[in-house]
Amino acid sequence: MTIRISARRRTLAVAASGAALALSLTACADTGDGDGGTGDGGDDAAGFEIDCAPYEEFGDLDGTTVTVYTTIVDPEGATQQASYDPFEACTGVTIEYEASREMEAQLPVRVQAGNPPDIAILPQPGLLNTLVTQYDAVLPAPPQVEANVDEGWHESWKGYGTVDGTFYAAPLGSNVKSFVWYSPAAFEEGGYEVPETWDDLLALTQQIVDDTGGEIKPWCAGVESGDATGWPATDWIEDVVLRTAGVDVYDQWYKHEIPFNDPQIVEAFDAAGEILKNPDYVNGGLGGVDSIATTPWTDAGYPILDGNCYLHRAANFYQTQWPEGTTVAEDGDVFAFYLPAETTDEKPTLVAGEFIGAFNDRPEVQAFQTYLSSADWANAKAAATPNGGWVSANYGLDPELLATDFDKASAAVLADPATVARFDGSDLMPSEVGAGTFWAGMTEWFARDLSSQEVADQIENSWP
């Protein structure tokens, strides 16, 4: 059989097959810059002046480009980009900003595909660890960055950016997680005082239950967060481990020098459970104990606003989660106090932060890395964040530049010599645990009312 089609049809067929091919190919083409955008806000940073001298040693960088890949989407993305303006003005480097919520899953894919960004803002050290040990992809920090970090940060922060003795990633911002949000007005109305010790906190909880005749559950919590569901509960446990078992045990625990199901850790689970799994104490305005598993963490504090809940433990960045029009101040709608420890002498504090990983050592990349690790950047970022919700543990940060009283309070906690800061343990554990079974285990702890021992055993068994 021979192929006999008319000339006209042949041309058409040729054109059609070509077009189909082309379409399938262009569909795969990278569309570029995600949802970064050049949002408004943060104009203040344009006027922020920095010393350009540190970047001269990198040579003439005018006209070069550095790509940044991050999870920080708008609205915070806008202030993040605005904080780069002084550097761009100094050096003439263009920063291409790409933000995606899927960055944590996509970055390893891009690294493997040989298409990494120049700089990635890593939301947790666990990802740095994975990138270094599994893919050998991150470049060690240049000496200028190391000098900046030695000067501006506590050595523990440098440690979180270090893998196997090599320093890779400078810290960027810092979060303070040991806060309890409350409504100052509701406290005043009930005659309640901000508790100073863990026992005070439990007493206050019981008092609220008694005063309202059990109608109101004092605490509200929620751990739903898409495929990261469970992480807010790991923070709870870490905070309680710091308080009941102490800092030393905490260090041994996340390094797995003691098993995950060590009796002291199970005790901490139970201590947290005294609040979180007590049907009289939770879940204010959100349901029973099991509703903690299904409530989005972003909404979990809202019942405070309509009086269905009194206490919500969440990090300083929860400040930006409150609905628009909520005043965050000591005499406003909501404010937060430090989650108390067993005594007033100690101030263990759970912190976390982002880190800067570099995949390229072109001079403009190293210059930008140096800028991001400097106190200048921290101050530029503070100036570019007019609505607050951002702090840094950098010593060079001028607290006066921070936008809100609450941010200043957070910075004060970070700077307080009595504060013993410990990094979020789940971020430091191997990702199978820290971003896997620990999250899942906590979710089951609420959803199926598994015992603390069962959950701890399960997580211990999954440790690689």
Partner 1 sequence: MDWFIDAGDDPAHKFLLMLVAIALFVVVMGLILFLVDRPRNAPRWLVSLGFVGPALAMLAFGLLYPGLDTIKNSFYNRNGSEFIGLDNYATAFTESQFLIVLGNTALWVLVAPITATFLGLVYAVVVDKSRFEKFAKALVFLPMAISMVGASIIWKFVYEFKPAQGTVQQTGLLNQVIVWFGGEPIQFLLQRPLNNFLLMVVLIWIQTGFAMTLLSASIRAIPDDIVEAARLDGLSGFGMFWRITIPSIRPALVVVLTTIAMTTLKSFDIVRTMTAGRFNTSIVANEFYEQSFRQNNTGLGAALAVLLFVIVIPVIVYNVRQMRLAEEVR
Those residues with Cβ within 8 angstroms of residue 52's Cβ, 6 or more apart along the chain or in another chain: 90, 91
- Chain-centre distance of CA 449, in angstroms? 27
Q: Does 6 bind partner 1 (CB under 8 A)?
A: no
Q: How far is the CB of 15 from partner 1 (least distance, A)?
A: 6
Instruction: Enter the tokens of residue 207.
Output: 């008092």
Cβ atoms of 311 and 335 within 8 Å: the answer is: no
Amino acid at 42: G
Kindly report the backbone phi and psi dihedral angles of residue 147, in degrees, each rounded to the nearest multiple of 5, phi listed first: -60, -45
Question: Of 39, 140, 363, 436, which one interacts with partner 1 (CB under 8 A)?
Answer: 436
Amino acid at 319: Q
Cβ atoms of 424 and 350 within 8 Å: the answer is: yes
* 203-232 footprint of partner 1 as x/- string (CB under 8 A): ------------xxx--------xx-xx--
- The residue range among 7-15, 150-158, 327-335, 362-370 that interacts with partner 1, by the rule CB under 8 A, is 7-15
What is the rounded distance in angstroms from the CA atom of residue 321 to the CA atom of residue 301? 9
Q: Does 29 bind partner 1 (CB under 8 A)?
A: yes
Instruction: Enter the tokens of residue 268.
Output: 């901490």
Pairing state of beta strands 419-423 and 347-358? parallel
What is the rounded distance in angstroms from the CA atom of residue 54 to the CA atom of residue 57? 7
Instruction: Enter the tokens of residue 302.
Output: 């809202």
- The residue range among 141-149, 265-273, 318-326, 430-438 that interacts with partner 1, by the rule CB under 8 A, is 430-438
Residues 304-333 that bind partner 1 (CB under 8 A): 306-308
Q: Does 291 bind partner 1 (CB under 8 A)?
A: yes
**Nearer Cβ to partner 1, position 6 or 26?**
26
Cβ atoms of 150 and 370 within 8 Å: the answer is: no
Cβ atoms of 87 and 95 within 8 Å: the answer is: yes
Those residues with Cβ within 8 angstroms of residue 2's Cβ, 6 or more apart along the chain or in another chain: none
Q: How far is the CB of 55 from partner 1 (least distance, A)?
A: 25
User: How many binding residues for partner 1 (CB under 8 A)?
Assistant: 55
Residue with tokens 């077009």: 19
Q: Does 12 bind partner 1 (CB under 8 A)?
A: no
Three-state SS sequence of 403-438: CCHHHHHHHHHHHCCCEEEEECHHHHCCHHHHHHHH
Question: Of 139, 194, 249, 440, which one interacts with partner 1 (CB under 8 A)?
Answer: 440
Q: Does 115 bind partner 1 (CB under 8 A)?
A: no
Question: Of 32, 165, 213, 323, which one interacts with partner 1 (CB under 8 A)?
Answer: 32
Q: Does 18 bind partner 1 (CB under 8 A)?
A: yes
**Nearer Cβ to partner 1, position 66 or 328?**
66
Q: Does 134 bind partner 1 (CB under 8 A)?
A: yes
Q: Does 286 bind partner 1 (CB under 8 A)?
A: yes
* 388-427 footprint of partner 1 as x/- string (CB under 8 A): ----------------------------------------
Cβ atoms of 376 and 50 within 8 Å: the answer is: yes
Question: Of 80, 81, 91, 130, which one interacts with partner 1 (CB under 8 A)?
Answer: 130
Count other C-beta atoms under 10 Å from residue 337's C-beta.
20
Q: How far is the CB of 50 from partner 1 (least distance, A)?
A: 27
**Nearer Cβ to partner 1, position 321 or 431?**
431
Q: Three-class SS of residue 104?
A: helix
What is the rounded distance in angstroms from the CA atom of residue 160 to the CA atom of residue 423? 8
**Nearer Cβ to partner 1, position 134 or 343?**
134
Q: Does 432 bind partner 1 (CB under 8 A)?
A: yes
Q: How far is the CB of 436 from partner 1 (least distance, A)?
A: 5
Q: How far is the CB of 119 from partner 1 (least distance, A)?
A: 18
Question: Which residues of the shown chain bind partner 1 in the complex (CB under 8 A)?
Answer: 2-3, 10, 13-15, 17-19, 21-26, 29, 31-33, 104-106, 108-109, 130, 134-135, 215-217, 226-227, 229-230, 283-288, 290-291, 293-294, 303, 306-308, 431-432, 435-436, 440, 443, 447
